[in-house]
Amino acid sequence: MKYGCPNSSCSFYKKTLHIRRDGFYFRKNDSRVIARYKCTNCSKRFSTASFSLAFGQKKRRVNDKLLKLLCSGISMRRAALILNIHRTTVKRKVIYLAQKARLTQEELLKKFTSEKVCHLQFDDLITSEHTKLKPLSVSLAVHKKSRFILGAQVSTIPAFGHLAHLSRKKYGFRENEHALGVRKLLSKIAPFIRKDAIIESDEHKTYPRELKRFFPKMKHKRYKGGRGCVVGQGELKRLHFDPLFDINHTCAMMRANINRLIRRTWCTTKKKICLQDHLDIYIAFHNRVLIQN
C-alpha cells in the first residue's frame, strides 16, 4: 500500500497502517476503474485519484491533445475551438500541464546526476508582454549537440533602442530583472553541471559575472553575435559557421512551436507567469519527444 491517510488531523496522517480497501468506482471522463480506500482510524475515504494533479478534472481525454497543440504553434483560443472546449478550460489546463511538465523535467534532468553536463550553451530570447514597449527576456541553457533544454527563465527588462523613450513616457520606469532571472536559472541547473564545464554564449555583459558565481572553474567562450537569416525566425545567423548553432536552432524551434513567441504575431503574452507556464510545457515536450525523433 503506497497511499497514506490524507486527513491532516488524523494521528496516522500519511501513514498506511490503518488503510483498508473500500471498493471501486467507474470514472466516466476517461473510462477507468478507480480503487477507493478508507482510513479505519478517522473514517476518511479517498481514492487513488485523490493524489493526482488532475484531481477533479472532468475532461481528461483532451489533456494530451491540448499538450501537443500548445507545442505545435496553435494558439489557446484555436486549441479551444479544435477541441470543442471553452477557452477558460484551456487556461486552467495550461496551469495543470505546466505543473506536470515541471515534474517531467525534473525526472529527465536526473540522467545528468551521475554524468554531469560538461558542455552547454547560454543565450537569451527576447519577446514582449502585451506590447513591444514592455519586453521580456527568456534566459535559456541548452546542452551542446543533443539540444536538450536544461531550463528557461522569464524576466522583465526595460525597453531599449528607439522604443525606450516611448516606453518610459507611456508606462513609466520598468525594472530590469535580467540578472536575477539568469541567477534563478543557474541555481536550478547548477547541480547537473560540472564546475569546470565549457560554457558558450554571446558577448552579453551580464553572463560572465553570473556564470562565475556558480561555476568558478568554468571555461567561458564568448562569440560575437551575427545578423539573423531570413529563415529560422531570425534566430539562425547569417554566418558560414555559427558557433552557437545549437542554442540558436533551439530558439528558432521555440519561436516556431510556441504561438506567442512567433515574430509578427497578434497572439501576445498578457502575463509573465503565463509565458513561463507555456515555456515549461514546451521544454518537457521538446526534451521528451522532439529531440528523441
Q: Give tens-digit pLDDT for 249-266.
A: 999 999 999 999 998 888
Q: Which secondary-structure segment (H or E) carries 122? A: strand 117-129
Closest CA to 57 of 14, 2, 107, 100: 100
204 CB contacts (<8 Å, ≥6 apart)?
124
CB 157 within 8 A of CB 177: yes
pLDDT surpassing 60 at residue 120 = yes
Residue 114: per-residue pLDDT: 87
Counts of helices then strands in the chain (DSSP H, E): 8, 8
- Is residue 274 over pLDDT 80? yes
**pLDDT at residue number 293:** 67
Q: How many residues does the chain have?
A: 293
Q: Confidence class of residue 181 from pLDDT cuts 50, 70 and 90? A: very high
Q: What is the pLDDT of residue 257?
A: 95
Name the band, by pLDDT with cuts 50, 70 and 90, for residue 230: low
pLDDT confidence of residue 97 = 97
Residues 89-93 have a mean pLDDT of 95
Distance CA 101, CA 149 (A): 13
Which tens digit of pLDDT belongs to each residue from 15-59? Answer: 888 889 889 999 888 888 999 999 998 989 998 888 888 888 889
> Residue 31's pLDDT is what?
86
Percentage of residues of the chain with pLDDT beyond 90 = 69
The grid coordinates of residue 217 equal 572553474
Report the pLDDT averaged over residues 234-243: 77
- Provide mean pLDDT across the span 197-209: 93
